[in-house]
Amino acid sequence: MVIVLHPSTTPENLAEITRILEKNGCKVCPTYGEFQIILGIVGNTQQIDRSRLLNKKYVEKILSVQEPYKKANRMFHPENTLIEVEGQIIGGNKLTMIAGPCSVESEAQIVSIAREVKASGAGFLRGGAYKPRTSPYSFQGMEEEGLELLKIARKETGLPIVTEIMSVTKLDKFVEDVDIIQVGARNMQNFDLLKALGQTNKPILLKRGLSATFEELLMSAEYIMAGGNENVILCERGIRTFETYTRNTLDLSAVLAIKRLSHLPIIIDPSHAAGKWWMVEALSKAAIAVGADGLIIEVHNDPDNASCDGKQSITPERFTALMDPLRLIAQIDNRTF
């Protein structure tokens, strides 16, 4: 349920209605807009006497939320959510650029890529330390050592780091060391992990599951938000379809759908969607044109010899050359990189 309050609502009115709703066992989540306050009501709203509330002169209207996700719903929060990470805002007019290798391989590799992507305009460094691989015989990531190398790269460049968490057992370490915690597609519905992330205040990059619907993605965000952590950034990274030429099928309509349904920022990962480096640049341009809040792109200094996902990684040179066209496309909608 959503209650829209009249612009003339006083703090006493707000306290009164909050009291009534809480007495009914509901949680009140206010959003303060420029002119109006909107109350998102979570809990069993069936027993609330709507006509009694509508009799209050400061209650403008009461809306029912049909969707199962509440806190992630745009009805609860009409304005876009802005997430601040180390002085950068995600979800605003300045687009977010996250770049780096699929996995951390050595200090020289991660530091040199970090320097190059930073010089081209990236705002964040990505790099996997714990890798979710289909085969247990494939490279599993440098694990704890990889995290240490990411921290060195951050120290060298100032770029905040984004890396994937695979297990709740590593949560404290990630909260301590990482700027944005990534939840990979394979863990999108690891509900225990999502609940634990909800207890932190770290920004979470939540990737869409391999064949997850928008509603399932938003319900996963809801798990994190229900715990009190509203810093969720969504990521479309392609979904599994009958097509096998590409690794996944990039669903650009996700940006439009999610922006209508939710107030959370959404970025695009063209690398895991395409699985082919030569598609990444054009798909990145399309993602910005369609209104994504940013990109996460795999960049590797030696893609042919990468430990992981070399086929979909672009070189730092290509990444640099991509930034100008992206800036031009962003300008069409008065956005910048």
Q: Which is nearer to ligand PEP, 170 or 272 (CB)?
A: 272
Contact flag: residue 207 with ligand PEP (CB under 6 A): yes
C-alpha radius of gyration, the chain, whole number: 21
207 touches which of ligand PEP, Mn ion, none (CB within 5 to 8 A by kind)?
ligand PEP
Q: Which is nearer to ligand PEP, 40 or 160 (CB)?
A: 160
71 touches which of ligand PEP, Mn ion, none (CB within 5 to 8 A by kind)?
none
Residue with tokens 């006497």: 49
Asked if residue 162 lies in contact with residue 126, where contact means CB atoms within 8 angstroms, the answer is yes
328: Cβ–Cβ under 8 A, 6 or more apart, which residues? Answer: none
Binding residues for Mn ion restricted to 225-264, rule: CB under 5 A: none
Q: Which is nearer to ligand PEP, 77 or 247 (CB)?
A: 247
Binding residue for ligand PEP, selected from 237, 259, 285, 300, defined by CB under 6 A: 237
Spatial strand order of the sheet with 37-42 comes to 27-32, 37-42, 2-5, 59-63
Binding residue for Mn ion, selected from 77, 126, 309, 322, defined by CB under 5 A: 309
In angstroms, the CA 195 to CA 221 distance is 10
Piece of the chain touching ligand PEP by CB under 6 A; list 54-62, 184-192, 283-291, 312-320: 184-192
Which ranges constitute the DSSP H helices of the chain?
11-23, 50-54, 107-120, 143-157, 171-177, 191-198, 214-226, 253-261, 270-274, 277-290, 316-332
Binding residues for ligand PEP restricted to 275-334, rule: CB under 6 A: none
In angstroms, the CA 146 to CA 103 distance is 8
* Binding residues with ligand PEP: total (CB under 6 A): 10
Binding residues for Mn ion restricted to 87-126, rule: CB under 5 A: 102
Q: Which is nearer to Mn ion, 222 or 309 (CB)?
A: 309
CA 199 from centroid of its chain's CA atoms: 17
Which of 25, 24, 6 shows the shortest CA–CA distance to 14?
Answer: 6
In the shown chain, the binding pattern of residues 46 to 85 toward Mn ion, with x for contact by CB under 5 A and - for none, equals ----------------------------------------
237 touches which of Mn ion, ligand PEP, none (CB within 5 to 8 A by kind)?
ligand PEP
Report angle CA 287, 229, 264 to the nearest 5 degrees. Answer: 25
Distances (CA, A) of 22 to 19, 44, 47, 49: 5, 11, 12, 13
Contact flag: residue 71 with ligand PEP (CB under 6 A): no
Closest approach of Mn ion to the CB of residue 274, in Å = 12
Binding residue for ligand PEP, selected from 97, 102, 196, 330, defined by CB under 6 A: 102
Residues that bind ligand PEP (CB under 6 A): 102, 128, 132, 184-186, 207, 237, 269, 272
